[in-house]
Amino acid sequence: MIAIDSVTKSYGDATVVDAVSLTLPDSGVTSIIGPNGAGKSTLLSIVSRILGADAGVVSVEGLDVFSAPSREVAKRLSILRQDQHLTARITVRELVEFGRFPHSHGRLTPECREAVASAIEYCDLAELADRPIHQLSGGQRQRAFVAMVLAQDTRYVLLDEPLNNLDMVHATGLMRLLRSLADDHGKSIVLVLHDINYASVYSDRIIAMRGGAVVQDGPPTEVITEAALEDVYGMEFRVHEVDGERIAAYYR
Ligand SMILES: Nc1ncnc2c1ncn2[C@@H]1O[C@H](COP(=O)(O)OP(=O)(O)O)[C@@H](O)[C@H]1O
Ligand SMILES: [Mg+2]
C-alpha cells in the first residue's frame, strides 16, 4: 500500500495540501475527484516525489519515497502528470521506451521490448508507433504518454487527468483498460478524474478533495450522492440510477 501521513504543502500563506493522511490500497481502482485547485495534483506530485512536502511522510510498500533511491521508487510507482512537456523530437515508440528506463537503464531487454509492444497495443497506437510525437493530435499524444507509463509496469499507477483530450471512444477504452489492469494484473490504479460518472462506474473507491483536504472517501455508492457531491463542488446535482450505475446529472 501507499501510506500518506500528515502531508502538508504551502505556497506562501496558502496551504494547498493540509495535513492529508490516506492509505492507497495495493490493488483496485481509486479515483480522486474535486474542484480545480483542491490540491489533487499537488498531492499526487508529492506521492510520486516530483514535489517535496513541507511536512509528512509517504511510503510505498514500506519504502520512504523521499529518501529511497529513485530507481527503487520508479520500479514500484509510475505517474502520468497532468501536463507533460516534451521538447525532444522522438517517435511514439521511443517515448514508450522511456517507460522502461528504471528497469533497463537505457539498454532494452527482450522483456522491455515486450512491455513496450503491449503498451503500444493496449493504447491503440500500433499505426502511430513510428510517428514523431509532435505530429500527433492532443488525444493521440495523451495515449502515447499513457503507454509510456504502462510500459514502466509498476504495481502503483498514478494518473493525473488521463482522460484529458480523449474522445469518448478512447476515454472509455482507457477506463476499461485501467479496470482490467487492476482486475487481471493486480495493479493499483489511482487517477484524478473530472468526469465523476467515469469515477462512479469504474472505481472501487472515490476520494474527494476540497481546499487541500479529503472531504469524502468511500465506494461510489457513498460518494456519488447528491448530498456528497454538493458538499464537494458547491453546486446542484441529480443522481440517477441508469443500468445499475449511479449517474450524476449537473448541467443546469
Ligand atoms: N507552484 C505553485 N505556486 C503557487 N501556488 C501553486 C503552485 N502550484 C499549485 N499552486 C496552487 O495550489 C493549489 C492546488 O493546486 P493543484 O494541486 O494543481 O490543484 P488541482 O490539481 O486539485 O486542480 C491551487 O490553488 C494552485 O493555484
Ligand atoms: Mg490538477
Q: Which of 7, 8, 10, 11 to mutate to test the pocket of ligand 1 (most atoms within 8 A of CB)?
A: 11
Short-list 132, 145, 148, CA closest to 90? 132
What pLDDT does residue 25 have? 97
The structural domains of the chain, ordered by start, are 2-76+154-250 (3.40.50.300), 85-153 (no CATH)
What pLDDT does residue 89 have? 85
Tell me the CA–centroid distance for residue 164 and ligand 1, in Å. 18
What pLDDT does residue 196 have? 97
Q: Which pairs count as long-range contacts for 140-144, CB under 8 Å and 24+ apart, including other chains?
A: 141/84, 141/165, 142/166, 143/170, 143/174, 144/92, 144/95, 144/96
What pLDDT does residue 102 have? 86
Q: Which of 16, 44, 45 to mutate to test the pocket of ligand 1 (most atoms within 8 A of CB)?
A: 16
Q: Which residue has the cell 511536512?
A: 55
What pLDDT does residue 223 have? 98
Output the pTM of the full model.
0.94
What pLDDT does residue 23 have? 97
Tell me the CA–centroid distance for residue 223 and ligand 1, in Å. 24
pLDDT in tens, 186-204: 999 999 999 999 999 999 9
What pLDDT does residue 204 have? 98
Residue ranges, the chain, pLDDT below 70: none
